[in-house]
Amino acid sequence: MPQNEKNAKPIQGPGGRGPRGPKPNVKNPGKLFLRLLSYIMKNYAVHCILVVICIFITVLANVQGTWFMQTLIDSYIMPLMKQANPDFSGLAHAIFRVACFYLIGALAAYTYSRIMVNVTQGTLKNLRDDMFTHMEELPISYFDTHSHGDIMSTYTNDIDTLRQMISQSIPQFLNSIITIVSVFVSMLLLNIPLTLLTLLMVGVTLFSTKKIGALSARYFIAQQKDIAAVNGFIEEMMNGQKVVKVFTHEQESIADFNRINDQLFDSANNANKFGNILMPVNAQIGNISYVLCSIVGGILALGGYGGFTLGKLASFLTYNKSFGQPINQLSMQLNNIVMALAGSERIFSLLDEKPETDDGYVTLVRAKKENGNLTETTERTGMWAWKHTHQADGSVDYVELKGDVVFDDVDFGYVPEKTVLHNVDLYATPGQKIAFVGSTGAGKTTITNLINRFYDIQDGKIRYDGININKIKKDDLRHSLGIVLQDTHLFTATVMENIRYGKLDATDEEVIAAAKLANADTFIQQLPDGYHTMLTGDGANLSQGQRQLLAIARAAIADPPVLILDEATSSIDTRTEKIVQDGMDKLMAGRTTFVIAHRLSTVRNSDCIIVLEQGRVIERGNHDQLIEKRGKYYQLYTGNLAEG
């Protein structure tokens, strides 16, 4: 009996994938497939070999079952019918033997299904882990140039199609091939002319699949396009729904929606129609093939040509029936595999991204002063030093971490062709507060991103306590810098854990102390669970001002000697703003601070103000000096105050 393995598996639902989806464009599918395979084999080589063996056993068990049908009629039923006192012990014996084979087949089926679960999930886990681990190492520029939606879709959609492929498509593909080969050989052994006839009909099936598939693919592409259009429209309009209401634009919006919705209906209807038609068409071609074979086979058997018997015809007909199916499946699985390969191409391209390079060798160590000399220690002295191991002779220098930062003729561009910062010179002595002012796009944020080496400069030098920052290990460099970004990002965790992010081994008391310093303690106490309140969705349950206070507390607990602050421009109300401002001031006290300033008070209280325009420093000095100069700063300042 044709007990092809696929029959026992759930069939994929309608409207889903099939041999009719648009073929995605993969450049080098063979190479990609091999790479994926070797990725799987890396951890699961033994598993995979076992799976192949088990699939082979399963298929063989099926095929031998079909062979048995022939023996059943020809060697047992026919002779038994002729006996006066039929002896069934021979048949019983044969059935027992087949049952054993079947049992082994079923066991093998279970074994490979179970192993495949581990292989699939394990590979996906490894891929996810590798992707995430690798992603964390990527430079900021990667995140600038790739949309977050695209990155996420690699983790969700691409991994999901891969799951489908590894767990279903590959085993079924293998199964289909083994089945086709074994069924084909069996058919050949039974009768060659009938086999040729069957092959002819398979050719017809393939032809119809190709024709219908092409039609359906065309509509499927149209459907994908329409779905994208409808989804895009829905997203835009739902976001603007309140504006629609305010402008009483409901009817127009409905009319627009109906237009593209109808379009989607058309293409979805056509795409699904051709998708649905394929199966019955192929099934009936299969039936006709069956009829043809039974007629021709009947004639052959009646005529007794070439020793063809009734039993052989029965077996052949079951083979005939089981031949078309794996061939159809082969084309279906092939398409799934190509689709999954497109996904794995994106996964591998993420894994192939070049990680952040770090040639730094100067490290940050705890230090103490002994007889005026700086030495390394494991004590918590509150003093830190740069450990500079000279490459030439291996001698070690210690330089105290003070927070002295110098820019020397720095040029920078996000892409090599377009320089956005030109010849920037600046210096900050420990404890100084440096404010950057200038219009949007003047390069304020860019400069701060260079200090912690989110980006590497093209030309010039940045020195930190006299050391070129390229020589400092990135992790240690960043440890020494605190950052409060303009848009605060919080994590799904408690308030306590979010603050502790700045210093993982901080005690609860330290966290509370930092929150107090940042003026965040008051509002945290008022939260439902105080410090143990869960924050979700980037702190969606907090106000803008509160999120900023948490970000300040997070920076405060890290207690870095150098601070980079990006003041928020968003409209927080005056009272909260004052609290935030106050928190920031406390944080800045005694630290070298670079601040992208938006508030007059911050600017006025700075030791040095750098006025930027189009990537160049055009003025520098303190408030009074710059006012006296009557330049751009004066213009900005008075233009502002004229209204205030």
User: What part of residues 559-598 is at the interface with another protein (CB under 8 A)?
Assistant: 569-578, 581, 597-598
- Please say which residue, 177 or 229, places its beta carbon nearer to another protein: 229
Pick one of 25, 30, 148, 370: the residue that binds another protein (CB under 8 A).
148
- Please say which residue, 393 or 643, places its beta carbon nearer to another protein: 643
Which of these segments, 181-189, 272-280, 344-352, 411-419, binds another protein (CB under 8 A)? 272-280
434 binds another protein (CB under 8 A): no
The DSSP letter of residue 472 is: B
Which of these segments, 128-136, 384-392, 425-433, 456-464, binds another protein (CB under 8 A)? 128-136
143 binds another protein (CB under 8 A): yes
Rounded to an integer, what distance in angstroms lies between the CA atom of residue 356 and that of residue 378? 29
Q: What is the C-alpha end-to-end distance of the chain, expressed in Å?
A: 91
Footprint (CB under 8 A) of another protein, residues 342-401: none
- Please say which residue, 374 or 565, places its beta carbon nearer to another protein: 565
Tokens of 253: 């919006």
Strand pairing class (459-464; 405-412): antiparallel
Closest CA to 64 of 110, 92, 105: 105
- Class of residue 587 by CB neighbours under 10 A (exposed 0-12, middle 13-18, buried 19+): buried
CB of 435 to another protein, least distance (A): 9
Footprint (CB under 8 A) of another protein, residues 276-295: 276-277, 279-281, 283-284, 287-288, 290-292, 294-295
User: Is there a contact between 450 and 464 (Cβ–Cβ < 8 Å)?
Assistant: no
**Identity of the residue numbered 260:** I
CB of 466 to another protein, least distance (A): 22
- Please say which residue, 102 or 398, places its beta carbon nearer to another protein: 102
Pick one of 48, 52, 221, 485: the residue that binds another protein (CB under 8 A).
485
Footprint (CB under 8 A) of another protein, residues 8-47: 8-11, 13-16
| 3-state SS, residue 376 | strand
461 binds another protein (CB under 8 A): no
- Please say which residue, 374 or 561, places its beta carbon nearer to another protein: 561
User: Is there a contact between 608 and 428 (Cβ–Cβ < 8 Å)?
Assistant: yes
* β-bridge mates for residue 535, sequence order: 493
Q: Which residue has the tokens 């404890």?
A: 431
User: Is there a contact between 406 and 578 (Cβ–Cβ < 8 Å)?
Assistant: no
CB of 372 to another protein, least distance (A): 31
107-144 burial, b if ≥16 CB within 10 A, otherwise e? ebbebbbebbeebbeebbeebeeebeeebeebbeebee
H helix or E strand, kind and range, residue 399:
strand 396-400
Binding mask 232-271 for another protein (x = CB under 8 A): x-xxxxxxxxxxxxxxxxxxxxx--xx--xx-xx--xxxx
User: Is there a contact between 380 and 393 (Cβ–Cβ < 8 Å)?
Assistant: no
Pick one of 37, 189, 199, 302: the residue that binds another protein (CB under 8 A).
302
CB of 28 to another protein, least distance (A): 28
Rounded to an integer, what distance in angstroms lies between the CA atom of residue 113 and that of residue 630? 79
Which of these segments, 28-36, 78-86, 398-406, 506-514, binds another protein (CB under 8 A)? 78-86
CA dihedral defined by 450, 453, 456, 462, rounded to 10 degrees?
60
Tokens of 495: 């308030």
Footprint (CB under 8 A) of another protein, residues 151-210: 151-152, 155-156, 167
User: Is there a contact between 205 and 285 (Cβ–Cβ < 8 Å)?
Assistant: yes
Closest CA to 582 of 553, 612, 608: 553
- Please say which residue, 272 or 429, places its beta carbon nearer to another protein: 272
Instruction: Report the sign of the C-alpha dihedral through residues 187, 192, 196, 198, in that order.
Output: negative
- Please say which residue, 211 or 273, places its beta carbon nearer to another protein: 273
481 binds another protein (CB under 8 A): yes
Q: Which residue has the tokens 């830190």?
A: 384
CB of 494 to another protein, least distance (A): 14
Binding mask 307-346 for another protein (x = CB under 8 A): ---x--xx--xx----------------------------
Which of these segments, 25-33, 298-306, 335-343, 463-471, binds another protein (CB under 8 A)? 298-306
Which of these segments, 39-47, 198-206, 481-489, 508-516, binds another protein (CB under 8 A)? 481-489
- Please say which residue, 213 or 482, places its beta carbon nearer to another protein: 482
Binding-site size for another protein (CB under 8 A) equals 176
Rounded to an integer, what distance in angstroms lies between the CA atom of residue 566 and that of residue 178? 64
- Please say which residue, 492 or 625, places its beta carbon nearer to another protein: 492
Rounded to an integer, what distance in angstroms lies between the CA atom of residue 454 and that of residue 164? 38
The DSSP letter of residue 607 is: S
CB of 10 to another protein, least distance (A): 4
**Identity of the residue numbered 77:** I
Rounded to an integer, what distance in angstroms lies between the CA atom of residue 323 and that of residue 182? 10
CB of 8 to another protein, least distance (A): 4
Strand pairing class (433-437; 592-596): parallel
Footprint (CB under 8 A) of another protein, residues 619-638: 635-637
102 binds another protein (CB under 8 A): yes
CB of 619 to another protein, least distance (A): 13
Pick one of 34, 42, 53, 118: the residue that binds another protein (CB under 8 A).
118
